[in-house]
Each structure stands twice: as C-alpha cells, then as structure tokens.
A and B are shown apart, each in its own frame.
Chain A
C-alpha cells in the first residue's frame, strides 16, 4: 500500500465513521483545479477495495486528470438503467429534467449501491453539484494546498449552508504538476456508462501479469 492509498483509506474510514448505511458522498470544491475528481475517485476506489458496493458518479462534462488516471476510457451509454453494473461504476449525469430527474437517479443508485461517490463540479458554477450536495448524506470539499484563498471559497461555503448540506470536512489535495488536457466526455444530455471500475491495485496487478 502506497502513501496515496493509505491516505484515501484513512479518508474512507473517516467518512464511513460519520455515515450510517448506504450513503451518498458528494465531493465538490470551490475551484475547478481543486482536484475534487481525484478525491472522489480515490475515495470510491478505497470504498470498493474495502468491499463496499460503490459507484462513482460525475457531473462533469469534461474529463479530469483523475478520470484519465483511474478510468482511462469513458464510454458514453444511453439510458439510466445501465448506470449500475459493477461494484463501482462511473457515469456522468446530466439533469435536463431538473431536480426531479436527479432525485430519481439518486434514488435508483441508493437502491443498488451501498456507497455512491459523486464527483461534482465546483459549487459556484454547477447547479447539479448544488442539488447533489443537498441530496448527499455527506459532502466533502476538496481544496488544493498551495493556492490562494478565492472569493469562490466563501461562495461555496454559503451555498453549502443554503442547501443544508452536511459537510463532513475539507480534503486538502496536494498541488498538481504537468496537468494534461482533459479528455472529452460524452455530450450533454446523455447518461454515459463507463467501463467496469477496476481498482487501482487490481489494475496494476493485471498490468503486471
């Protein structure tokens, strides 16, 4: 177990201790480069490796480094019935139908998975993130170490208070280097189904074999 895994395990234990039963954990941030995706994917992997039925949901329209790292291929799929396939699935959610549709998605996921980790876009710019924070059992706010405080931080806090979100805590992320361009994600309006989630450790073992 490397240091990154251990820190996510520690994060997973901390989150798990504050939740009861099947839970939705929304990971959001104030700024786009606070690496909420990395936190969400790492946390989802940690839950999955701990034996929890886990699904990772993203509200992003573009891929991030984390997605490229953990999920090299994101395959667009049509139809929400295909959202849940494995112990941890990845999907993007668009909510053209508004809150009702989103509530349906959340309800569906709750029925299937023990842990739903939502990789939400920054709160100040995403209504979906706002709604998922409201629906979540706990919210983690990723914040990148080394950056300067921004007005969006204050906005994020206010939005979280407005939606009565249960903020579990802040997750500092280390500064990133050599960030490459994000990969394209499915077009708006579709619910994408990715490849089955393969935990990092398992994937490394497969590559090694």
Chain B
C-alpha cells in the first residue's frame, strides 16, 4: 500500500477517524483520574522445607505437608481470607474490600523464594498501608496454616481431656457418695475391704483361739502352783521364823542328845525315857509351833508369787477370751454387713471400672496431646514466611503518569482509527479507484475527469 493510498483512505474515512480521535481524547479525560494510581511494594521471603527434608520426619505425620509454599502465597495474597483480615485491620469499606483483589499483585522473582507484593491505589498512603498489612497478614496466616491442623487437633484433644476430667470427677463424686454411706465400701477397694477385714478377723480369731488355748493351759498350770508351792511355802515360812528355827535347833540338839543316849544306853537307863518323853513333847511343841507359824501361806513370797502367777494367767485367759469374743462378734457383724451391702458393692465395682476406663482414656488423650504439641512445634519450625522489606513509599503506576497514559491512549486511538478506517473502507465496495472500475468492466480506464 502506497502512502497516497493510505492517505486517500484516511481522507475518505475522515469522519470515522475524527470520531475515534475525539473518543480517544474523551477517554483520556475520563480515564486519567482512574489511572492515576500509586504502587507500593512490600517483599516476603518464603523459606519452605524441600521435599527431601521430610525423609527424616514421621512419614505418617509429615509436618512439611502443612507448610505454605511460594505458589500458595501468590494465591493467598489475593484470597478473601487474607484480604478480609487486612480490610478489617485497616477499616476499609466493603466496596474497597471488593476491589482489593484487583489491586494486589503477587509475583515471585524468578528462581527465588522472594515474593514482592505490590498494591495499587489512588491514595499512596493507603497503598503503603495495605501492602504492609498484607505482607504481615500473609506471614501470620501462613504460620497459622502450617500449624492450623495441629491447633485444631490440640484444641479437640484439650476439649476431650476436659470432658474426661469432668467424667472422672463425676465418677469420684458418686464413689464418694457411696463410700460415705458405708465405712467399709471404700473408693480404693470397694466391698472387698469387708472381705479383707473378715479374713483378717478370722485369722485373728484363730490366733486368739490359739492364744486362749495357751492361756487356758497356762492358767491350769499356774493354778496348781500355789498348791505345789504350799509345802515349800511352809518350809520357807518356818525357815524364816526365828522362834521355830530356834525350837527346831533345840529340838535337834535334844534329839541328837537322845540319839546319843539311845546309842549308848538302853531305855532303862535312867532318865532316858523321860528324856525321850521330853524330846517327844518338845517335838510336839515344835510341830505346833510350826503349824502355828505356817498357818498363813501368804507369808511365803514363793506362794504369793505362785498366786500372782495363777491370777495373771487367769486374767490373761480372761482378756484373751474377751478379745476372742469381741473378734467373733465383729466377724458376725461384718458377715451381716457384707450380706446387706451387696448393692453398694456392685455399684462401687461398676464405678471403679468406669473410673479405670476413664483414667485410661485420660491417659491416652494426654499422650496424644503431647504428641500433637510436639508435631505442631515441628511444623511451625519447618516453613517460615518473613517480611524482608516493608513498603515505605508508593510510586506512580506506569499508566498513572499523564504522558504515558496519553501516549498509550493516543497510540491505541490512532491504531483503532486506522483499523476502523481500513475496515470500513474495505467493507465499502464503491468504485473509488480506476483499478476497481477496470476490475468491474475489464476495460482500460482513462484518467478521471470532472
């Protein structure tokens, strides 16, 4: 196409060209306030764990699966979840919040983990505020995402633990109520305390029976001791009575004299008989004196000791017998109690089983909570998103500069005008050129006249 053809076309379609150019001018006037935008950029560094790092972790609970990647951050930057928080933090209107996704651009720098986040707004200060709030929120939200599932698990486990505690407290309360009604029904042993007590009492009874048997034997033995020690007591009394001792010594001497006389003489020896008679009298007197002296055996310490031992044995027997009776009475009472407290016993057993099960659940929940807390800490340490560059100012957007916008609109308008002109001209089949006439008639065409 020659220049003359181009200008001829433009001349023919001058009205279209003019209209488009005027529209372009109007577009510039209308669009200029809207394109007067400022861009503030804040930068994030998303250091996520490589896939190989998970090899050392628990394959069933790989915390790297919770880590937020760079691509995730791109999507998160324009997500309603994050932008909604930013809007709430900055107090943005609903209309402004709805426009935010279009005003935010998050595109990572090639082959790096650096993610610049650009916010475009007509207000440069607001653009800076949104950019900084958005990056801060992204960092916080990514951490929340990384540990979120553990937080939910931990919260759930904590709730279950609280519930388990309450169940145990209720069971303890019921056990306490049952136990308070019956001394022998204890939380620890239930009614088995009665059995234990019974067994102990029966053992005690057997022991006491043995003791009482021994006591009886001892009492029987010791009961004979006073009688046995009675003659001994007589001798002891007589030996300790000086008068009797003197009489017996005198009698002894007399007897010895008599025996000497008898050994030397016969009874016919004078005075021997009388001497014999005297000795006999004297012996009778000694016997009387002895009887008189030994009339009270209590004067003998041995006898008294025997009496005391006998009494002690009897008292011991009586005490042990009484204790045996008491034990038997208690055994009878416990047997009656055991018979009457079967319902409480079964209830207590049921409560004890429930409590044991509750304790198992509580223990399991506690262990799971500990594991979840550890996993959460691990997950939180694997991936991190940090703000490495805060937005400090906003620069005018490319199309926010009047010359650039004007040039862009001018280029677009001129291109549109030329395109439209040629399209309309091409669609117009009127005979505008000698060539078109020659094509129509197939005859040579002279120079136009007129």
Q: Which of A83-91, A114-122, A139-147 contacts B (4 or more CB under 8 A)?
A: A139-147
Q: Name which of A39, A140, A141, A143 has the most chain B CB atoms within 10 A of its CB.
A: A143
Q: Is B110 an interface residue (CB 8 A)?
A: no
B217 at the interface (CB under 8 A from A): no
* Shortest Cβ distance from residue A204 to the other chain B in the assembled complex, whole angstroms: 18
For window 145-181 of A, CB contacts with B under 8 Å fall at 145-149, 153, 157, 167-174, 176
Contact partners of A157 in chain B: CB under 8 A: 441-442
Q: How far is the CA of A14 from the CA of B430 in the complex (A)?
A: 26
Return chain B residues, CB-CB under 8 Å to A148.
429-431
**Bound CA–CA A8/B449 (angstroms):** 7
Taking CB atoms, residues of chain B closer than 8 Å to A4 are 449-450
Interface: A38 (CB within 8 A): yes
Whether the Cβ atoms of A14 and B441 lie closer than 8 Å is: no
Q: In this assembly, does B51 line the interface, its C-beta being within 8 Å of a C-beta of chain A? A: no
Known: A143-B437, A147-B431. A38 touches B443 (CB 8 A): no
Q: Given the known A-B contacts A143-B431, A146-B432, A149-B431, are A11 and B437 also in contact in the complex, defined by CB atoms under 8 Å?
A: no
In the complex, the answer to whether A174 meets B443 with C-beta atoms within 8 Å is no
8 Å CB interface, B417-433 against A = 429-433
User: Which one, B429, B431, B441, B444, contacts A145 given CB within 8 A?
Assistant: B431
| Shortest distance between the CB of B429 and any CB in chain A (Å) | 6
Chain A residue nearest in CB terms to B434: A172
- Give A141 to B434 CA distance when docked, in angstroms: 13
Say if the beta carbon of A124 comes within 8 Å of chain B. Answer: no
Q: Does B152 contact A (CB under 8 A)?
A: no
A42 nearest CB neighbor, chain B only: B449
- What 1/0 flags go to A13-43 for Cβ under 8 Å of B? 0100000000000000000000100110010
* A144 proximity list for chain B (CB < 8 A): 431
**Could you say which residues of chain B place their CB within 8 Å of the CB of A14?**
446
Instruction: Type the 1/0 row for B158-178, where 1 means its CB is closer than 8 Å to any CB of A.
Output: 000000000000000000000
Candidates A153, A173, A176; contact of B440 at CB < 8 Å: A153
Assess whether B438 is interfacial by the CB under 8 Å rule.
yes
Contact A169 B440 (CB under 8 A): no
Contact B448 A167, beta carbon cutoff 8 Å: no
Flag whether B30 is at the interface (Cβ < 8 A): no
For B442, B443, B449, the residue with the greatest tally of chain A CB atoms inside 10 Å of its CB is B449
Tell me whether B448 and A172 are in contact (CB under 8 A).
Answer: yes
Within the complex, the shortest CB–CB distance from A95 to chain B, in Å, comes to 27
Contacts of A143 in B (CB 8 A): 431, 437, 441
The interface residues of chain A lying within 8 Å CB-to-CB of B450 are 4, 7, 35, 38-39, 42, 173-174, 176
**B447 lies within 8 A of chain A by Cβ:** yes
Closest CB of chain B to A153's CB: distance in Å? 6
Whole-angstrom distance between the alpha carbons of A145 and B438 in the complex? 12
Closest beta carbon of chain B to A126's beta carbon, Å: 18
Contact mask B43-69 → A, CB, 8 Å, 1/0?
000000000000000000000000000
- Chain B residues contacting A11 (CB-CB under 8 Å) are 446-447, 449
- Specify which of A35, A149, A170 is in contact with B443 (CB 8 Å cutoff): A170
Q: How far is the CA of A140 from the CA of B438 in the complex (A)?
A: 13
Verify A149–B429 contact, CB threshold 8 A.
Answer: yes
State whether A147 touches B448 (Cβ < 8 A): no
- Chain B residues near A176: list those with CB within 8 A: 450
Q: Give every chain B residue within 8 A of A169 (Cβ-Cβ).
A: 443-446
CB distance from A174 to the nearest CB of B (A): 4
User: Within 8 Å CB of A167, what residues of B?
Assistant: 443
Q: A4-B450, A35-B450, A176-B450 are in contact. Are A170 and B430 (CB under 8 A)?
A: no
Complex CA gap A63/B437 in Å reads 26
Whole-angstrom CA separation of A4 from B447 in the bound complex: 11
- Given A148-B429, A148-B431, A149-B429, CB of A172 within 8 Å of CB of B445: yes
A167 to B445, CA, bound (A): 11
**Contact status A38-B449, CB under 8 Å:** yes
Please, how many angstroms separate the alpha-carbon atoms of A12 and B446 in the complex? Answer: 10
- Chain B: which residue is nearest A5 at the CB level? B449
In the assembled complex, the Cα of A38 lies from the Cα of B449 at a distance in Å of 9
In the assembled complex, the Cα of A176 lies from the Cα of B448 at a distance in Å of 13
Q: Which residues of A contact B434 (CB under 8 A)?
A: 170, 172
The answer, among A146, A147, A172, for a CB contact under 8 Å with B449, is A172
Q: Which residues of B contact A145 (CB under 8 A)?
A: 431-433, 437, 448
Nearest chain-A residue to B448 (Cβ)?
A172
Which A residues touch B444, using CB under 8 A?
168-170
Closest to A176 in B: B450
A-B contact pairs, 23 of them (CB 8 A): A4-B449, A4-B450, A7-B448, A7-B449, A11-B446, A11-B447, A11-B449, A14-B446, A38-B449, A140-B446, A141-B441, A141-B443, A145-B433, A147-B430, A148-B430, A149-B429, A149-B431, A153-B441, A170-B437, A171-B448, A172-B434, A172-B448, A173-B450
Listed in ascending order, the chain B residues whose CB lies under 8 Å from chain A are 429-434, 437-438, 440-450
Closest 3 CB pairs of A and B: A172-B448, A174-B450, A169-B444
Known: A4-B449, A145-B431. 7 other contacts (CB 8 A): A7-B448, A7-B450, A148-B431, A149-B440, A170-B444, A170-B446, A172-B448
